[in-house]
Every structure is written in C-alpha cells, then in structure tokens.
C-alpha cells in the first residue's frame, strides 16, 4: 500500500514470511510507483520492469539481468508490527524501542481506532496541545488543582502531567464524572514529537489514548487516535473489552473535537507566548532542538 509521509511517498508491504517492509515508493530504476506492485515471496516486485526489492531496500532480482547495479536500491525505514499495527521510524535506524504505556504490554491489550483527523496546520502544533495550560480552562473546562508538571522521561521524550477537575458543561464530561469520578490526572508522554501516549486516570477508570502524528505535504497533518485497554484474563470477555475500548475512543473523540476545530484554524507564523504559556514554551524549545 502507498503511504503519504510529509512530501514523500512510501510503500508498505508484508512478505510471505510476515516481515514488514517500508520503502520509498519511487522505483530506483525509472521511478514507477512500487505501491502498484505485488509481493513475491520475500520481496516487492515493481509493476514496470519487475525488479524485486527486499524489506531492507536491497534489489533482490532483475529478471533480464544477472548484474545488480549499486543504484538499484530503495531507501528503507525500520518498522515494527505491534498488535496488528505497523509503526515506522522516520530515519535509517530506530534510536529506541517502540514506547508503550507505562506498566502495560501491547500484547496484553486491545485497541479501538483509528479516529482520523486531517488537519490543516503544522504537525508540531498538535503535540503542543498537551502542554497548553490555558486551553485546559478555555476549551476543555478543566480546572487545574495543581500546577502542571513537565519532565523528560528519557532522551527523545517530553512529558506533562496535570491534575484537574472535570467540567459539568458537556454531556461526556458529566458522564465521565458519574462513571469515573470528578478528578482527572492526565499524563501525556510525547515521543520525538510524533507519537503521544496519553493516560487519563480518574478514581474508577484509566483511559489510554495513543496519538500518532503523520506530517503531510503543504503543512497538513494526519492525526490518528487509538484507545487501548488491558485485555481481560477471561477469553469470553474479550468482545466486551473491544466494546469498552470503542466507547473510550468515542469519549476521546468528543474531548478532542474542539481542539481539532481550533487547530484547523491555525496558520504557521504566529507564536507570541506569555508567562502562563511556560509549558508551551518548553515544548516548542524541545521541538526546535529536534525533540531530543
């Protein structure tokens, strides 16, 4: 399948043995789109002259030639298959293992999603949301009960934690208060700017939301949201687990709906912060340093 990523086009495929390949989609021979090709055993075959490329980008075969020139190679991207989802690393080598929610293992969870939002704003403004203290009041009706805490849980990550009282004005907040409790501790760990793991802990429930940010051309971004939930030990309850994850996703979607409308109205080029934006300032500095 073809994948749009920033101003590039990539292709993703799965070989017969189950390996995942993510390559530049433009064939190194004459530029045909490899997304129109087919998988042949352990490689992806170009639809034009049938050159075959392995998951590491190496050209494995040229039908009418025994010699394989050095240029016959696709750029490849490290990929991880986790619980049916493919994550790709935007670089030659993954600099750290794929992160997950603290205390949970992906294989012990179910997920629902994605909820997709195509936004017309620079990608890094989406991740800024969890460091935007002012908007918690103005957009989400959350009243902070303590100052936000910002820390770096490791290289390539920046985290925020807020403790807030849930509002009463919106139907989903009223539902959350009844079902889960009135106080929410929200922890968001942003990895390299493009993967945000959010856990919302209330008295009776914890919700795990995963936000993937994929930059697109023309300063646009695809935001994909997944809700994760630890899987029940009882197999018969697995369907209920999936249903519960879908309900969480619905609530996350409602929570983010107002963010989406506002982010969509932002254009790059205006950033004038004040003292109360100190967490935002820290985030933007981190992003500008390469999210290290």
- Cα 188 to Cα 153: distance, rounded to the nearest angstrom: 11
Helix ranges, 40-161 (H): 124-127, 133-138
C-alpha 160, offset from chain centre: 17
Residue number, 41 or 102, with CB nearest to ligand FES: 41
The footprint of ligand FES on this chain (CB under 6 A) covers a number of residues equal to 8
CB 126 within 8 A of CB 221: yes
Q: How far is the CB of 9 from Fe ion (least distance, A)?
A: 31
Residue 86 pairs in a beta bridge with: 81
- Determine if 259 is a binding residue for Fe ion (CB under 5 A): yes
Q: Which stretch binds Fe ion (CB under 5 A): 10-18, 93-101, 174-182, 255-263?
A: 255-263
Place of tokens 């933007």: 284
The site map against ligand FES for 21-40 (x = CB under 6 A) is: ------x-xx-x--------
Residue number, 173 or 259, with CB nearest to Fe ion: 259
CA distances from 95 to 54, 87, 211 (A): 22, 14, 20
Identify which of 143, 187, 147, 150 has the alpha carbon closest to the alpha carbon of residue 164: 143
C-alpha 95, offset from chain centre: 17
129 binds, among ligand FES, Fe ion, none (CB under 5 to 8 A by kind): Fe ion
CB 53 within 8 A of CB 43: yes
286 binds, among Fe ion, ligand FES, none (CB under 5 to 8 A by kind): none
Residue number, 73 or 278, with CB nearest to ligand FES: 73
Site for ligand FES in 44-103 (CB under 6 A): 46, 48-49, 51
- Determine if 180 is a binding residue for Fe ion (CB under 5 A): no
Q: How far is the CB of 18 from ligand FES (least distance, A)?
A: 25
Site of interaction with ligand FES (CB under 6 A): 27, 29-30, 32, 46, 48-49, 51
Site of interaction with Fe ion (CB under 5 A): 129, 259
């Amino acid at each position: 399948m073809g994948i749009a990523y920033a101003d590039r086009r990539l292709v993703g495929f799965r070989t017969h043995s189950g390996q995942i390949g993510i390559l530049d989609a433009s064939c190194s021979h004459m530029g045909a789109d490899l997304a129109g090709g087919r998988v042949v055993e352990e490689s992806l075959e170009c639809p034009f002259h049938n050159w075959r490329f392995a998951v590491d980008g190496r050209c494995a075969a040229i039908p009418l030639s025994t010699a394989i020139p050095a240029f016959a190679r696709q750029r490849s991207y490290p990929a991880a298959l986790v619980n049916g989802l493919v994550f790709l690393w935007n670089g030659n080598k993954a600099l750290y293992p794929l992160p997950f929610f603290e205390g949970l293992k992906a294989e012990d969870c179910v997920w629902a999603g994605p909820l997709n939002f195509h936004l017309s704003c620079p990608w890094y403004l989406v991740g800024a949301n969890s460091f935007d203290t002012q908007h918690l009041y103005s957009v989400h009706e959350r009243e902070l009960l303590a100052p936000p805490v910002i820390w770096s849980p490791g290289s390539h990550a920046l985290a925020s934690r807020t403790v807030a009282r849930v509002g009463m004005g919106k139907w989903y907040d009223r539902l959350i208060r009844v079902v889960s409790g009135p106080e929410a501790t929200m922890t968001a760990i942003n990895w390299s700017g493009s993967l945000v793991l959010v856990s919302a802990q209330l008295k009776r429930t914890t919700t795990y939301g995963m936000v993937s940010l994929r930059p697109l051309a023309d300063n646009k971004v695809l935001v994909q949201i997944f809700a994760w939930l630890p899987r029940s030990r009882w197999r018969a309850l697995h369907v209920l687990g999936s249903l519960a994850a879908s309900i969480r996703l619905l609530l996350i979607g409602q929570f983010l709906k107002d963010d989406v409308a506002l982010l969509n109205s932002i254009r790059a080029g205006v950033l004038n912060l004040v003292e109360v934006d100190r967490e935002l300032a820290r985030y933007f500095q981190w992003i500008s340093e390469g999210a290290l």
